[in-house]
Structure 1
Amino acid sequence: MEVNREYFRISELMAAFSTGSQTEEDEKELQLWLQEDERNQRLWERLMNRETYEENNRLSGKFPANEAWAKIEASLDNDSKVRKMKPWRNIMKYAAILLGVLSVGTLYWWNQSTVKSPIAEQQIPAGSVGAKLTLGNGRVVDISKNNSLEITETDGTRIATDSGNIDYSMADMATGTPVLNEIQTMTGMEYSVTLSDGTRIFLNAETKLKFPVAFKGTDRTVELTGEAYFDVAKDAKHPFIIKNGNVAVKVLGTSFNFRAYADEQNVVTTLAEGKVAVSSGGEWRHIVPGEQAVVTVGSGKMEVRRVDVMFYTAWRTGRFVFRNEELGEVLKQLSRWYRFEYRFEDEGARSIEIGASFDRYNSMAPIIDMLGSTGLVKVKFVDKVLYISSVK
């Protein structure tokens, strides 16, 4: 590995391990690097040491990076040499962001009980279990974790809610015309539903699922807007189909994450187990575990790529995990769960990349502390709105 690239990669690994967002591949790569030379082990231990971190953080603040780059560029001709240099400037800028992430992640894990900012003290609580259920006759029922109900549908079907889940699989199913139900989580809510075939669906915040009380045809079709994790019951004779506009996902029995928010440009299917086929405009493509199908809403163009599934399913297991995500995207996701408004006072702050791992069920205080401690942005909370600006 070329020296500069090696240092850059190690800084990236440090950021991942410090924030708890490392992958299995990261762990294997780190072990190989540590085994190459005893000096690597000593370097890793020194860099991950708290006292070393604090000293490096103090010294790094004194380094005039912009002035140094200005001198380097001034010494080069305004030709191809400069153009060749600029990509490396971007890489070094990115490395600096990673080191900033490392500093924040390290401080957070070590000092989470002691760091208190005035903003964080204005608690922004985590979301909770809850949803609205719309029955076949249009009646709307408010359901929540502590609200156990027995409901009779228009066709006589009896269903029950309990402990954050509504279960149709054990219901006494009536015959006749299929009856559709709709369950919707609002901002700051999550819920789960067990369908009549035994399929379990976990709904993230701001998600709407439309489904039949009982599947009676040749397939098992539901409609979804928002984000949900599916554990689909196996049934080779009746494929399970999720629809969102012109996009459809067909499965026989598998586990995957489906994301299709109305305010986002992509419909994303991330496969954890099994095999699924994704369609856009009639074109079907199969993906396997560890792959993701991304359909651009406007054009219908589909891209299949390899990903680390954990980053797209962590919400299901109660965590927020971000790795090299733009702050604008991070806050969009967080606002759906924590129910807060935010404003960027400049585009530079929106595009800053960060990495972090947090407990989804804690208040937002640690996240606000993290943002303010990066040295990359300023954060203020006015009239229940979070304002973020770049540090000039």
Structure 2
Amino acid sequence: MNQNIEKILTKFLMNAANIDELEILANWLKKDEHKQIFKSYIKTNYAMDINTNEFDTENAKKEYLRKIRLSKKTTYKFKIYKVLKYAAAAVIIFGMGYFFQQKGNTGSIEITEPIIVNNQIETGTDKATLTLENGDRIALVKGDTYQTQNVTSNGEKVIYNSSNTSRELVYNHLTIPRGGQFQLTLSDGTKVWLNSESQLKYPVAFNEGETREVELVYGEAYFDVSPSSEHEGAKFKVFNNSQEVEVLGTEFNIKAYKDETNIYTTLVEGKVEVTAGNTVKILSQSQQTNLNIVTKNVSVQEVSVRSQISWKEGLYMFKDKSLKEIMTTLSRWYDMEVVFADENLEGIPFNGALYKDQSIIDILNDIKNFGVIKNYEINNKTITLK
């Protein structure tokens, strides 16, 4: 990377680059090899807590557009529009940057080769099983299509139409395995993103004017709910065994895995009411409920929304998470088992971000290079951290 580009990049990350510098950077980023250099530069020189130093892509876009509106020069407008998509992409690359940072001091790095025997761990992809009302199970796989009168799928998402006139509610299930993810559009237009190892139960079609109800049987899901104003005032509710979430028209995330004792409901925008037993909590934007299903205690806290929902954008962001928690999350996406040969490794706290399209070996090498672990072993689909 030449010195001029490095200076422009630094100014860009400080939101101080002018339009000419932005155009130089945009043209430089057109080459794939430069994008890789850029990400490496960020990783090496900006090892910071991205969860507390977030780069807001939407605000960056708004700022560029504000400059456009204030400008009366056509050539200037053209430059801004030309740079916008590349600059915004650069913001995303930084804001969803790639690094893995241990909190506190790292140990000394011992250079030893990992032991890899028949590595069968693959990066997750779009896949799901659709269970119809008659019990038939349809495998939905990326690259394959499926279509019936009520539903279509391109292998990455499944979409239900709203033409069903029957008043009788019939239910389908969408099950996401370990190592999978999928998108779903319900008949009312509500969009749902389902994370690995999740299952949603929902009607093939809702009855207009009646409360729309779905069940997150287990796992994690992000909901972008079609407003009640478009459905004769019908509310939208999400149930699971331990709580009920009622919304009018909003975006929120629920994390309720079978092997975890806590259920997290995070409000992105709008308003939700979370009911757990006799406890009722109304959330405002950027708030999260934490329900302990053992003690039944429900707490509310302010959170970084982006770190909670980044999984649906192809990124895992971790803030003050232990190595054990991180590996639990990764085990669902990579469909693997993780063994700690040294239990002392489990509690080491980290901040950072990992792209979901990385290979597991790349991730393990990063952890190793920080001196956190001395070595690792892969045997089929089991990882042992040493």
* TM-score by shorter chain over 0.5: yes
2:134 pairs with 1:134: no
Equivalent position of 1:98 in the other structure: 104
Distance 1:96 1:288 in 2: 32
Instruction: Name the CA shift for 1:280/1:172 in 2 (closer, same or farther; >3 Å).
Output: same
Whether the 8 Å CA contact 1:16–1:323 is kept in 2: the answer is no
Equivalent position of 1:155 in the other structure: none
Correspondence list, 1:115-194, <5 A: 119=116, 122=119, 124-152=121-149, 158-168=150-160, 170-194=161-185
Whether the 8 Å CA contact 2:196–2:332 is kept in 1: the answer is yes
Distance 2:281 2:119 in 1: 48
Equivalent position of 1:74 in the other structure: none
Deviation at 1:373, TM superposition (A): 1.4
TM-score by length of 2: 0.70
Deviations 1:9-31 (A, max 9, x none): xxxxx99951662434799xxxx
Deviations 1:284-331 (A, max 9, x none): 211111110010111221000011111111101111111221111100
4+ residue stretches of structure 1 with deviation over 4 A?
14-17, 24-27, 116-123
SS of match in other structure, 2:253: strand
Distance 1:349 1:16 in 2: 26
Instruction: Name the CA shift for 1:383/1:146 in 2 (closer, same or farther; >3 Å).
Output: closer
Q: Which has the higher contact order (CA 8 A, sep 6+)?
A: 2
Q: 2:354 aligned to 358, 365, 368, which one?
A: 358
Q: 2:213 aligned to 221, 224, 248, which one?
A: 221
Higher-helix-fraction structure: 1
Deviation at 1:385, TM superposition (A): 1.7
- Counterpart amino acid of residue 228 in structure 2: D
Distance 1:25 1:316 in 2: 17
2:249 pairs with 1:243: no
- Counterpart amino acid of residue 50 in structure 2: S
Deviations 1:354-384 (A, max 9, x none): 2221211222222111121122223222343
Whether the 8 Å CA contact 1:181–1:211 is kept in 2: the answer is yes
Q: 1:323 aligned to 319, 324, 327, which one?
A: 319
Instruction: Name the CA shift for 1:317/1:163 in 2 (closer, same or farther; >3 Å).
Output: same
RMSD: 2.9
Equivalent position of 2:293 in the other structure: 297
Unaligned runs of 5+ in 2: 1-42, 57-100
Deviation at 1:282, TM superposition (A): 3.3
Whether the 8 Å CA contact 1:120–1:366 is kept in 2: the answer is no
2:250 pairs with 1:254: yes
Equivalent position of 2:191 in the other structure: 200
2:309 pairs with 1:313: yes
Whether the 8 Å CA contact 2:236–2:247 is kept in 1: the answer is yes
Whether the 8 Å CA contact 1:277–1:286 is kept in 2: the answer is yes
Deviation at 1:239, TM superposition (A): 1.2
- Counterpart amino acid of residue 129 in structure 2: K
Distance 2:264 2:188 in 1: 24
Equivalent position of 1:347 in the other structure: 343
Distance 1:122 1:140 in 2: 30
Instruction: Name the CA shift for 1:26/1:140 in 2 (closer, same or farther; >3 Å).
Output: closer
- Counterpart amino acid of residue 328 in structure 1: K
Unaligned runs of 5+ in 1: 1-13, 28-94, 105-115, 153-157
Instruction: Name the CA shift for 1:96/1:367 in 2 (closer, same or farther; >3 Å).
Output: closer
Deviation at 1:147, TM superposition (A): 1.5
Correspondence list, 1:348-387, <5 A: 348-378=344-374, 379-387=376-384
> Structure 1 stretch 375-384 or stretch 229-238: which is displaced more?
375-384
Whether the 8 Å CA contact 1:227–1:260 is kept in 2: the answer is yes
Q: 1:209 aligned to 183, 200, 207, which one?
A: 200
Instruction: Name the CA shift for 1:120/1:23 in 2 (closer, same or farther; >3 Å).
Output: farther
Instruction: Name the CA shift for 1:99/1:26 in 2 (closer, same or farther; >3 Å).
Output: farther
Distance 1:25 1:347 in 2: 32
Distance 1:144 1:192 in 2: 12
Identity of aligned residues (%): 32
Instruction: Name the CA shift for 1:26/1:131 in 2 (closer, same or farther; >3 Å).
Output: closer
SS of match in other structure, 1:172: coil
2:227 pairs with 1:234: yes
Whether the 8 Å CA contact 1:16–1:355 is kept in 2: the answer is no
Distance 2:185 2:47 in 1: 37
TM-score by length of 1: 0.69
SS of match in other structure, 1:377: coil
Q: How many residues align?
A: 292
Instruction: Name the CA shift for 1:289/1:212 in 2 (closer, same or farther; >3 Å).
Output: same
- Counterpart amino acid of residue 219 in structure 1: T
Whether the 8 Å CA contact 1:202–1:230 is kept in 2: the answer is yes
Distance 1:15 1:308 in 2: 24
Instruction: Name the CA shift for 1:19/1:184 in 2 (closer, same or farther; >3 Å).
Output: farther
